[in-house]
Amino acid sequence: MKQIILILLAVFLFTTAFAEELSSPNGKMKLTFDLEKGVPVYQLALDGHPIIKPSKLGLELKDADDLMTGFSIENTLTTTFDETWKPVWGESSTIRNHYNELELTLKQASTQREMILRFRVFDDGLGFRYEFPEQNNLIYFVVKAEHSQFAMAGDHTAYWIPGDYDTQEYDYTTSKLSEIRALMESAITPNASQTPISETAVQTALMMKTDDGYYINLHEAALKDYSCMHLELDDKNMIFESVLTPDALGNMAYLQAPCSTPWRTIIAGKNAGDILLSNITLNLNEPCAYENTDWIKPVKYVGVWWEMITGKSTWSYTNLPSVKLGETDYSKTTPNGTHAANTKHVKEYIDFAAQHGFDAVLVEGWNEGWEDWFGKSKDYVFDFVTPYPDFDVDELQAYAKSKNVKLMMHHETSGSVRNYERHLDTAYQFMVDHSYNSVKSGYVGDIIPRGEYHYGQWMVNHYLYALKKAGDYKIMVNAHEAVRPTGLCRTYPNLIGNESARGTEYEAFGGNHPDHTTILPFTRLLGGPMDYTPGIFEPDVSQYNPNNNSHVNTTIARQLALYVTMYSPLQMAADLPETYNKHIDAFQFIKDVAIDWDKTLVLEAEPGDYITYARKAKNSDNWFVGRTNDEEKRTSEISFDFLDPDVKYIATVYADAKDAHYLTNPKAYEIRKYVVNSKSKLKQDCAPGGGYAISIIKAENKDELNGLKKL
């Protein structure tokens, strides 16, 4: 018996001899790494609670031996890093980047190839990636599959959208992991371009909650020169494995050493707010690439957009079924009478922007080619510089300048990426020549060259190419239908916005689920800001287009809250000026709310149910609070203890009226003013699909407080 015990002990010591452990700076997050029969395996725990159970790592290569097994540890290096950096814009004025790092150099005996696994353990999670140093036996190689596993410790509740190589524009489904397979078919709703992956594949950022109250998020950071990662669930063993987006040939990535993959991220916490406030995604990206960032500024804008989305107006100048750039003579065509991007109408938007202090006006549909732009697999679809006859570029440039308003460019590519790159320098120079300093780009429809996907390596490289090229011209970019953000806005802060999720436009295409904006901050927004385009005050879309019976699933009060809860340095007041003029008292909040912040707090949060943020405006004493609610009636209770002690403020509360409801009475709101200080508390009912917004302005003198009730 004694001999058996000694043998078992020897086996135990042998199998654990190479185990490496690394804890976070506060000691609560613990990484364990081991080689099991030559296979890299890691696990992660928070306060001893399993976040990731033992999970395998490795890459499968095309026409070469796989990088999955047969490894030994050649070298280990442990370091600590701690810095505080200042983003050009953001949810806080400073960000701490503090982690402990484990660098493992692995050697594959059969091929003599080396691979480095780099782990960074933060107080709120983990980032890891594969690195390939310069070596003779591994130079050019093609990734056939990445087999990074994320083994769950239970059948968690997940907030997910279907895995898809072409779109993220889905409503979220909330279910147990074990229920994903049965719900997948109903979760895949129609889109202009979509390529669903499988019955159990979902997209990152994936948000989960365990039965015992831990919150877990899986995502990636610094996606460059590689394809976008999805997650395939083995629903028998509750193990996620990475699924990359292929190219037209079915290959996942083409690499040349020395190189590295994007970071795979795991964020975890005992509170939902831990996920919302995590900066892991940004911290795993490189510092700002620009020495001078004076030209990068947050933007609050209006635009000729919602009237086209609802069908009230059109992008196209004519109703011709077919046009050819350079051949179709628009001066000889018959206008359709519904074209929105005309000089007179755009001036009305410029006037509205100037009157209310907005920075810019977005104009879509200004350029030739919109008659047959979509679904034709048309290569030469736009040239990005030739306006329709009713759009006077020079006149509008002068008019906007006289009103101290910028015009925002629109570049729709219709997925014809080769055509866009051919015209990119000319298009950006055209912007510079006509005083445009920001562009909304779009990638609607299937990608050309045909067979490529929106999220493959080829397109990932294009998005970054267009962004860096924009930087050469000092242009800010808001890319729609692009790959989801992964924190690249730290390196390239001229990426001031992305869509890359189901935004407000879908409210005119049948409506988003009321819980949508209670989930997006836990998922899509972890990678970077979203151009969600909030501010819809007319929920009945048929008021704009009698043929469109869509309903915006929100109250007006919640639309105001979205300017706080849906973080972006690029915020649009998306509704029509005439509608805002009917609710000018509520519109005041949109005018007042900041779009750049010194500090952000999460006062209440539960994914799928509600979120309440408090944010302090950049270089200001003013605070703003926003609460977004799901379809249930709920009561929010917050304290104002984040305010400076012994200072009095005026709080203007924009709230749902008692009888408000997102379906039956969405326009019912109340506006109340109070005197508040750091000891004040608020108990506020939130209607189904509702919420509230609060502006908290420091009182400059006692006279401002006269007649106001103390809260």
pLDDT digit string, tens, across residues 326-381: 999 999 999 999 999 999 999 999 999 999 999 999 999 999 999 999 999 999 99
How distant, in Å, are the alpha carbons of 306, 347, 556 from that of 350? 16, 5, 24
Residue 408's beta-bridge partner residues?
362
pLDDT at 532: 98
Lowest mean pLDDT, pick from 12-26, 283-297, 446-460: 12-26
CB–CB of 330/377 below 8 Å?
Answer: no
If we measure between CA atoms, which residue out of 610, 604, 28, 638 comes closest to residue 271? 604
Q: Please give the average per-residue pLDDT across 386-400, as a whole number.
A: 98
Beta strands in 164-246 (DSSP E): 173-176, 201-203, 206-209, 215-221, 229-234, 239-244
* Three-state secondary structure call for residue 24: coil
- pLDDT tens digit string along 273-287? 999 999 999 999 999
Please state the rounded mean pLDDT for residues 57-86: 98
What percent of the chain is predicted at pLDDT more than 90?
97
What's the CA gap between 177 and 159, in Å, rounded? 9
Question: Tens digit of pLDDT for each residue in 157-174?
Answer: 999 999 999 999 999 999
Over residues 135-157, the mean pLDDT reads 98
pLDDT digits over 312-322, tens only? 999 999 999 99
Whether 505 is a known active-site residue: answer yes
**H-assigned helices in 188-298:** 272-276, 280-283
Please give the pLDDT value at position 16: 43
DSSP label at residue 449: S
pLDDT reported for residue 702: 87
For residue 406, give the H/E element and its range: strand 406-412
Which helix (H) or strand (E) segment holds residue 343: the answer is: helix 343-356
| Mean pLDDT across 177-194 | 97
pLDDT at 36 > cutoff 50: yes
Does the pLDDT of residue 11 top 90, yes or no? no
Judge whether residue 2 has pLDDT over 70. Answer: no
Per-residue tokens: 297: 């500024």
Q: Which range (113-127, 615-629, 694-708) has the least confidence?
A: 694-708
Q: What is the pLDDT of residue 359?
A: 98
Q: In the predicted model, what is the mean pLDDT of residues 111-133?
A: 98
Tell me: pLDDT of 18 over 60.
no
- pLDDT band, very low/low/confident/very high, at 543 (cuts 50, 70, 90): very high
Q: What is the mean pLDDT of residues 676-695?
A: 98
Residue 680 scores a pLDDT above 60: yes
pLDDT surpassing 80 at residue 181: yes
Catalytic residue among 505, 507, 538, 631: 505
Place of tokens 């609670």: 49
How many other β-carbons are positioned within 10 Å of the β-carbon of residue 118? 18
Average pLDDT over residues 94-103: 98
Per-residue pLDDT, averaged over 98-123, amounts to: 98
588: CB partners within 8 A, 6+ apart: 652
Q: What b/e string do you get for 15-52 counting C-beta neighbours within 10 Å, with b at 16 or more?
A: eeeeebebebbeebbbbbbbbeeeebbbbbbbeeebbb
What H or E segment, with its residue span, contains residue 128?
strand 125-132
User: Which residues fall within 8 angstroms of residue 521, CB to CB, at 6 or more apart?
Assistant: 276, 565, 566, 567, 611
CB 71 within 8 A of CB 108: yes
Rg of the chain (C-alpha set): 26
Across the chain, what does the average pLDDT equal? 96
